[in-house]
Structure 1
């Protein structure tokens, strides 16, 4: 069951709809860390994540007339951010087809136990790359539930699918990750 926004959030949404930039900033500020983490997990790059969230916030500001003071802002912001991540993923695919992909460089660790650290970083890198290569629908479900800590029901509402669909997508995503990455 989804709970509506509190009075302060309703007031901020109302003021933002009227064009009050300060109210909009106050409204979205508490959600920024979560949105950036979500975008980072979807895109695999801090820079791309920040750009996606910034674009999502700009889009939300431009579409502020559609905000409903009776609905919490968090799901709306999450949906817009996911859409901006999808756009970036599509652009990456086009860039790869044309041969314009980015290279990733790993800086060696200064830890005394460099071998273990390097192996851990290598596993983390391979896992992140495998997550990035998952089909978008599987990646979204996995990121929202397993990495962003949302319930399957909440992820289902955000993505507009059933809870069973989310469960299936997470299962398939984990299965594909096990096939691609040796976690032993």
Structure 2
């Protein structure tokens, strides 16, 4: 729990990450080697879940969601009509650009960034190594950044 809290900063998010990690470990319990210590295995899963949460936060910031650092200081909780229109346009553009990605890049990006799956889970689903998945996600994000920010 302390590792997750150090990674994420918020106790409630850390708790979610740990619970998700334990659920993943339970699902993969048949793959656990009883001769090896379980703590490194659980720590790795927890770190992956924390990384996933951090990536989702970063993606939300990248897409312009949750930009107010302290919502309690905001004058009005609802965005202005102009902001809503710009956000809607950015979201439509992002969706369109995701659909234009090559299939392998799109699959990797959606599994990790949108569905919130761990890299190991996504790599298993796609039948590739975690390193290959990491490369696909990196390339997909790079292409999106180039398309969305330069146009």
The TM-score with structure 2 as length reference comes to 0.47
The TM-score with structure 1 as length reference comes to 0.39
